[in-house]
Amino acid sequence: MNDLPAAGAGAGRGLWSDARQRLQADRVALGAAGLVVLIGLAALLGPALSPYAYDSLDWGHLAVAPQLAASHWLGTDRLGRDLFVRSLHGLRISLLISLLASAVSVVIGVTWGSVAGYAGGRTDEWMMRFVDVLYSLPYLFIVIILTTLFERGSLAVLFVAIGAVGWLTMARIVRAQTLSLKRREFIEAARALGVGTPAIIARHILPNLVGTVAVYATLTIPQMIIFESFLSFLGLGVQEPLASLGSLINDGAQEMQSAPWMLLVPASLLVTLLICCNLLGDGLRDALDPRDR
């Protein structure tokens, strides 16, 4: 799939340049994209700008309220840990896990959907029946069962668990697209030339799915952010002294009465991030798939 953008550019007014033009006209989506980039950079670089570490305790400043002039300008928690650093560090973990989980779900979903769609018949039926059964179970239950499977607190396991159940919608969308693609002439031509099935899927089916997959993947990321934060909120995800936005919100909710900033700082960060991701995803969908509107 690496040669795709190049192929698009070579075609002149291909899918990608069209999409870019439409996206550039969409000010809401551009603004949201800018904010997402900013938030990403803050997560990446922010903690390094502060003299404090995410787990360093400051016994002189326990549960201090935010003060712009003070050294802890967003305040501290009950153990004197700097909330600015902790929130950005938590944001970094939330983003990392949700990006990896999205990647896992894209890989599984695209593979599963394209194989089922292209194979058709019995294989397709069984593969999609499996998806239906998983679909009928609430997402939450599958993830909770999966988290009982693993040691708690290991991040790798957390994203595998989330990603492994996040692929279902992707598989359905990809299968539907593959079904309509495989009857097209160029696939028939490839088959007539003697190209093998794996090669047809990899070289001819998958590249044509990129637009759809890209749109759905950007809408998956905020869902994964919610899911990771939610598991951490319940205490099933990231464990102390590490934090993610979810566990910070949970801590904040406990201390709401005496230290409301502990809730407000991570909550507003998460809210901003989620709204921007959704607006960006909607914008991308409009840009890449104008038929939808």
Binding site for other proteins (CB under 8 A): 133, 136-138, 140-141, 144-152, 222, 226, 229-230, 233-236, 246, 249-250, 252-253, 256-257, 260, 263-264, 267, 270-271, 274-275, 278-279
Nearer to other proteins, 114 or 147 (CB): 147
Nearer to other proteins, 6 or 149 (CB): 149
Give me the least distance between CB of 252 and other proteins, in Å please.
7
Give me the least distance between CB of 131 and other proteins, in Å please.
13
Burial of 223 (0-12, 13-18, 19+ CB in 10 A): buried
| CA gap 281, 32 in Å, rounded | 9
Q: What is the DSSP string of 56-73?
A: ---TTSSSPPP-TTSSST
Q: How many CB atoms lie within 10 A of CB 189?
A: 11
The one-character DSSP state at 290 is: G
| Nearest alpha-carbon partner for 4 in 209, 167, 180 | 209
Give me the least distance between CB of 231 and other proteins, in Å please.
10
Give me the least distance between CB of 274 and other proteins, in Å please.
5
| CA gap 93, 79 in Å, rounded | 20
Give me the least distance between CB of 226 and other proteins, in Å please.
5
Nearer to other proteins, 2 or 148 (CB): 148
For residue 229, what are the CA distances in angstroms to 76, 98, 238? 21, 9, 9
| Nearest alpha-carbon partner for 232 in 221, 245, 214 | 245
Nearer to other proteins, 68 or 149 (CB): 149
Give me the least distance between CB of 215 and other proteins, in Å please.
17
Nearer to other proteins, 114 or 229 (CB): 229
Q: By the 8 A CB rule, do 259 and 78 touch?
A: yes
Nearer to other proteins, 118 or 251 (CB): 251
